[in-house]
Chain A
Amino acid sequence: MSYYEATLLEEHVQIALDELERASGLSIEVITELVEYGVFQPQGERPHEWRFAARCIAVGRTARRLGADFELSTPGVALALSLIERIEELEREVRALQAQALRG
């Protein structure tokens, strides 16, 4: 039996709008709104030219879960996502400081 390749959801891998729609479970309308709110920042001018970082799949899936589980509107989802992103940044900083600090 062969192994299946797992791909990293990172910045350097790019995906098109229909792939993001399929993988995140968000509708094109909601994705477009989230682009307007700056949650997703695709390269390209028009929707059919948009290229998203693969990381957007993970963000999109979180958006779908938050929207469905808390019955949030898209602006509410955008706000929650930006707060989650800030928390993740702070957690990264804490981890960096912990890694540098000497063990007690």
Chain B
Amino acid sequence: MKYKDYYKILGVDRTASEDVIKKAYRKLARKYHPDVSKEKNAEEQFKEVQEAYEVLKDADKRKAYDQMGFYQPGQEFNPPPGWDQQFHSGGAGGFQDLGDVDLFDLLSGLGGGGFRGARQGGGGRAFRMPGQDYEVTAHISVEDAARGTELEIPIAATEVTEGGQLRRTTRAVKVRIPKGVTDGQRLRVPGKGGPGIGGAPDGDLYVDIQLRPHDIFRVNGHDLYLELPVAPWEAALGAEVQVPTLDGRISVKVPPGSRAGQKLRVRGKGLPKPGSGEGDLYAVLQVVTPSVLSEREKQLYRELQAASSFNPRGHFE
């Protein structure tokens, strides 16, 4: 079993009072709560903080934790002899090997209504606890969002073994993502979270969609944007140019007298929307000039300069 230093996570002394622990938690919760935080790894950080607080705010769990001894964070350890009799009464033969057990899972099984209670089922009051909801982020390509895709999502979970012990496992859940999802959307797979205990319902699996950056398209909702480079003469005279879309190239007319930054909308060539309809594709014009000019090109530009009365900075005067 790996040691976690809950005091260090909350940044408090081992002798800290309940009040100090609570204040430290509140401060860190405000900093790392994934619903309000923009910190990097806010979710993982908050889980650690929450876990530390769950243990240290409960006098019994804190005592059990303290009596495990002090180790370095991440160090493999086993609780001292006699620990499980004192805190985890009724275990058949105590703990032989805690290699797979998570420290927090072990501590959260303490006190009223632990996992052991759940397994007693038949006699007395049956303990019911709905399964935990799981939340994962799926990174998918823009193409997969457009077509829909199938994913195998690895899920780390805690299981109760036949012997009533806790074990960390990883299992894969196969999930079909419908077409029409886009960045930041959330999907729900009912019943694919953690197992419910004592006949209570299983938790749900939530999948947050994040689109991987695309080489050509930028995504805004269900609309796609791309930069469309055109030559100065194409912008001035108009042109018909080939533009990539998610399903092949299409021809787009650049109107005469176009300017950089102008958007050409291609209706219905964005991402499909859930239910029906599609977003649009926007080609944002970018006027580019050749970096190396031939003598002939230079000559033609000079002639254009001499012939044109165009003043691009007229509004400065």
> Which residues of chain A have a CB within 8 Å of any CB of chain B?
1-10, 12, 22-23, 25, 54, 57-58, 61-62, 65-66, 69-70, 80, 84, 92, 95-96, 98-100, 102-103
Chain B window 177-190, contacts with chain A (Cβ cutoff 8 Å), 1 for yes, 0 for no = 11011000111111
Q: Which residues of A contact B186 (CB under 8 A)?
A: 8-9, 58
Alpha-carbon distance A7/B219, docked complex (angstroms):
21
| Given A61-B133, A80-B36, 8 more pairs with CB closer than 8 A | A4-B173, A6-B177, A6-B189, A12-B274, A12-B275, A70-B33, A102-B260, A103-B227
Picked from B30, B207, B263, the residue with its CB within 8 Å of the CB of A100 is: B263
Alpha-carbon distance A37/B178, docked complex (angstroms):
33
Dominant SS among interface residues on chain A: helix
Contact A3 to B188, CB < 8 A, known contacts A23-B204, A70-B29, A70-B33: no
Of B26, B36, B174, B221, most buried by chain A (CB within 10 Å of CB) is B36
Q: Which residues of A contact B223 (CB under 8 A)?
A: 99
**Contact assessment for A102 and B220 in the assembled complex, using a CB-CB cutoff below 8 Å:** no
The answer, yes or no, to whether B197 is at the interface (CB within 8 Å) is no
**Contact assessment for A96 and B220 in the assembled complex, using a CB-CB cutoff below 8 Å:** yes
**Contact assessment for B150 and A3 in the assembled complex, using a CB-CB cutoff below 8 Å:** yes
Q: Which residues of B contact A12 (CB under 8 A)?
A: 274-275
Q: Which residues of A contact B284 (CB under 8 A)?
A: 100, 102
**Contact assessment for B218 and A99 in the assembled complex, using a CB-CB cutoff below 8 Å:** yes
